[in-house]
Amino acid sequence: MYLIDTDWIIDVFNNQTQAAATLKRLADQGLAVSVITYGELYQGAFYSRDPQRALAALPVFLSDKQILPITTAIAERFGVIRGGLSPHQRRQVGDMDLLIAATALTHNLTLLTRNLADFRLVPGISIYSST
């Protein structure tokens, strides 16, 4: 199963056909979205040039994906990951990304992301990054 990062979904919304084709190809294995990503997407839609259209497209896209909440297990994993990073790395990788990473690790999911520079700093995370 795969956890889709915000950047990948934005690529789909921006009509990047390779990103959409990858999601279609991986759909049978299961696709999920962190509630953190949901919040980032909602913010983007709400403040977009055409909020009405963007807000209408969001639930359509998410309809066949599992939305994963932040649980105590994810919060604990977040704390372990964040505490294990150097101060420089903590400044590089934002807390939202660390919560997404903790979600992927807690649920044993592969993360679909283009943000390799940040997520590669997270020990043990599995990343799918090619289209």
pLDDT tier at 129, thresholds 50, 70, 90: confident
Task: List 32's β-bridge partners, or say none.
Answer: 3, 66
Number of residues assigned to the chain = 131
Query: What would the pLDDT profile of 65-114 be if each residue is shown by its tens digit?
Result: 999 999 999 999 999 999 999 999 988 999 999 999 999 999 999 999 99
Q: Is residue 89 helix, strand or coil?
A: helix
DSSP state letter for 84: H
Query: What would the pLDDT profile of 5-59 be if each residue is shown by its tens digit?
Result: 999 999 999 999 999 999 999 999 999 999 999 999 999 999 999 999 999 999 9
Q: What is the token pair recorded at 31?
A: 């696709």
Instruction: Scan for tokens 């789909």, then name that residue.
Output: 12
pTM for the full model? 0.94
Tell me the C-alpha distance between 123 and 33, whole Å. Answer: 20
pLDDT higher than threshold 70 for residue 62: yes
Q: What is the pLDDT of residue 112?
A: 97
Q: What is the pLDDT of residue 16?
A: 93
Q: What is the DSSP string of 18-75?
A: HHHHHHHHHGGG-EEEEHHHHHHHHHHHHTSSSHHHHHHHHHHHHTTSEEEPP-HHHH
For the sheet with 126-128, list strands across it: 66-68, 31-34, 2-4, 110-112, 126-128
- With vertex at residue 27, the alpha carbon angle to CA 23 and CA 30, rounded to the nearest 5 degrees, is 120
Domains of the chain: 2-128 (3.40.50.1010)
Q: What is the pLDDT of residue 90?
A: 87
DSSP element (H, E) containing 111: strand 110-112
